[in-house]
Amino acid sequence: MVTVREESQTNNATRDYLTDLTYQCPKGTYKLGCSYDENDPEYETTELLHHENIKYPQQVVCMMTISEDEEQVEFTSLTVDRGFPMINCQSKNHIFCCGLKWHYEQNMTADEHSSRLINWHESVEKWCKIEDLGVQSYKVKMELPSLYHTTGCDKFPLWGIIAGFFLMFAASILFFYYDRIHILHLCPKWLKKSTHYVHGNAAQSLVNNERNSTEIKPPASHEIKLAHPKLTSDIQYCYKNKKPMVLGEGRYGFVYKANYEEQCIAVKCINREEKAEHEKIMFDLIGSRSDNLLRLTAYVSKHCDPHDRPTSVLLLPAYLQGDIGSFLKRKYDTEGGISEELAIQLMRTLACGLYELHRASEGIDNPMPRIAHRDLKPANVLISDRFEAVICDFNSSIPLIRELPHQCDCFSKPDDRNGPCRPFEPLSLLKLESHDRPGCPNRKILQKLDDVRERVFYQKCPDGTWLYMAPEVLSLSMFDTGDMVPTNSDMVNRYCSVDIYSFGLICWIILSQCDGFLVPGHKLESNVDDFLFHEFSSQSKIDLTKINMRSLAEKEKLMDKIVNEENLRPRCGSSQLFDVIRDCWASDGAYRPDARQIYRKIKDLSTHYSTRM
């Protein structure tokens, strides 16, 4: 305790102070980072007694000494009656001091005494914290300088260490096995730029790498080797003039050029996941039945496009020759057209791809159903490096399901799953309501067929591109089924006939750029769609100035009048190949040849022309 003793003097304005001051300094040795807590050390109390015969200040020095290995701290205190203690209190020697003194002066007033105490408190070192306990008693707290601050090991509880370990383990599993790209999309930009997983804006380093990317030749579809879809973070989008290189675009997204392990690939970004899932299912059903049908390399449900937007992507082989429309336009601009040999080869390979798509494989292990494309047009026919046609874009395709393409547990026995067993009925095997188990792989296919039946046949909202629609689609007569419910077989067979009509238009465009088959005058001055529409409209008597060509419904009505009412078709030459094309243009789909007949006839004609040339 602090005691204050006063003695009266003759002059009441001035007094001699006989005061006992109490200081508390920390003491003890502590281990840095573990046992030491700045708020809970032990303290040692020191009293400074004033006597009238002492004319020099008394002083208490609280000392903090850091060991040379910076692992321990020791607190001591020192009381000096005269002068300043000879202690090297410099931080570079790991010694820190707080000098506390009581200075007695004769005839000092109370105001002067308080002022001196205030000035003294303001002059102490920054690592000294003085706490006034009242009645001439002070407590000294010495803080460690920031240079010696470490993480306290005893402060972190054991459960925190265990929880942190499991969090890191779970994060590593999520990162490597679930979706690294989606996680990286949430990271700050500086982290994206420092990682190897280049995408979006983090791939700006590839802007000047256009020369190297174009030198990489795209391998054939059966030669591409791609890692597991979860490792597709190594995909590097290609850029030109700081913009991603677009290979194609559609209603639901874009197709970008990219590199993967020194291979040139195409990345199809689809902004609607259900559309991407359906096309992935179609690729699975198509399999590798033909080199004239595009093959899927990998599918990633969550990825990022070059603009860092979340999307679903299909990784596909890159065909740098482009689609057949851009290929013919480039040939016309550079060479004035194509040769007879190339024209026949394009028609033959296109017919081969369509035949394989429409043909059902009866294999026991892996049966492949018949599939209708439903949107066949030049933009959906690619050209390989061997100058062969490759059919792509199966987003609108529907399969003819005669048996379940996947195994599911919707008809399992009670021993195989919990709950009652649904009775097996062959007629209900291919019904959507029979596949209600979570995660059933057959449900999505059957759901797509029901959607087509509802939207197209009942609501009469046809799919496809207006310029390449068959006459029965334009007139909506194809969807008149009366009271009969259209079956899966009815829908697929009718749409396969629609594919034949579209095939005939594409073949006519091919032959129109070959002077050996068509009379001169058909110049491909713009894109193939405008070229084909000009061929139709130039024969029509309809005043196009009264047609709103910005309206899709108006364009479909216009083509309905041209194709059905005026019964117009593009003008053809005298070659036998045009006879095949005319058969594909029959007004009634029932009179059109199937893909097998077309392929065999074109194949025979190609043999005839090759021997003649």
**Assign residue 94 a region: left if phi > 0, alpha if psi is -120 to 50, beta otherwise?**
left
In this prediction, residue 405 carries a pLDDT of 61
- What are the structure tokens assigned to 316, written together? 């596909």
In this prediction, residue 423 carries a pLDDT of 47
Whether 46 and 105 share a structural domain: yes
**SS3 state of residue 394:** coil
In this prediction, residue 28 carries a pLDDT of 85
Whether 236 and 268 share a structural domain: yes
One-letter amino acid identity for 333?
Answer: D
The CA-atom distances, in angstroms, between 267 and each of 4, 59, 275, 332, 607 are: 88, 79, 15, 28, 37
For residue 130, tell me if it sits in a domain. Answer: yes
Whether 215 and 290 share a structural domain: yes
Whether 193 and 248 share a structural domain: yes
Whether 175 and 311 share a structural domain: yes
**SS3 state of residue 250:** coil
Provide CB contacts within 8 A for 88, sequence distance 6+. 95
Give the residue numbers spanning the domain of 165.
158-320
C-alpha 247/C-alpha 267 separation (Å) is: 9
The runs of H, that is alpha helices, within 6-122 are: 110-122
In this prediction, residue 526 carries a pLDDT of 83
Please classify residue 380 by burial: count the beta carbons closer than 10 Å to its beta carbon, then call 0-12 exposed, 13-18 middle and 19+ buried. Answer: buried
C-alpha 132/C-alpha 564 separation (Å) is: 103
For residue 261, tell me if it sits in a domain. Answer: yes
Among 320, 342, 376, give the residue marking a domain's end: 320
Whether 213 and 72 share a structural domain: no
CB 583 within 8 A of CB 489: no
The CA-atom distances, in angstroms, between 420 and each of 218, 407, 414, 416, 423 are: 53, 19, 6, 11, 9
For residue 234, tell me if it sits in a domain. Answer: yes
Whether 50 and 98 share a structural domain: yes
We report the CATH number of the domain holding residue 306 as 3.30.200.20
Longest dimension (CA), the chain: 143
- What are the structure tokens assigned to 542, written together? 């309809």
C-alpha 475/C-alpha 484 separation (Å) is: 20
Whether 142 and 199 share a structural domain: no
Whether 193 and 277 share a structural domain: yes
C-alpha 353/C-alpha 394 separation (Å) is: 13
For residue 35, tell me if it sits in a domain. Answer: yes
In this prediction, residue 217 carries a pLDDT of 41
For residue 574, tell me if it sits in a domain. Answer: no
Give the mean pLDDT per block of 10 residues along the chain (613 residues). 37 46 82 62 75 59 81 80 51 69 50 49 63 78 68 54 81 60 47 37 33 39 43 77 90 89 89 88 88 91 85 91 94 90 95 94 70 95 96 92 65 51 52 66 78 85 91 92 84 94 96 76 81 92 90 92 95 89 93 95 85 58
C-alpha 528/C-alpha 534 separation (Å) is: 10
Task: With residue 532 as reference, give the H or E element that holds it.
Answer: helix 528-537
For residue 224, tell me if it sits in a domain. Answer: yes
For residue 311, tell me if it sits in a domain. Answer: yes
pTM: 0.62
- What are the structure tokens assigned to 589, written together? 């789909």
Please classify residue 346 by burial: count the beta carbons closer than 10 Å to its beta carbon, then call 0-12 exposed, 13-18 middle and 19+ buried. Answer: buried
Whether 170 and 32 share a structural domain: no
For residue 424, tell me if it sits in a domain. Answer: no
Among 127, 148, 169, give the residue marking a domain's end: 148
**Assign residue 287 a region: left if phi > 0, alpha if psi is -120 to 50, beta otherwise?**
left
β-partners of residue 5 are 18
Q: Which of 314, 294, 311 is nearest to 302 (CA)?
A: 311
Among 88, 119, 148, give the residue marking a domain's end: 148
Angle, CA 265 vertex, CA 261 and CA 266 arms, to 5°: 145
- What are the structure tokens assigned to 136, written together? 């001439």
Whether 162 and 242 share a structural domain: yes
Structurally, how many domains does the chain consist of?
A: 2
**SS3 state of residue 249:** strand
Whether 34 and 162 share a structural domain: no
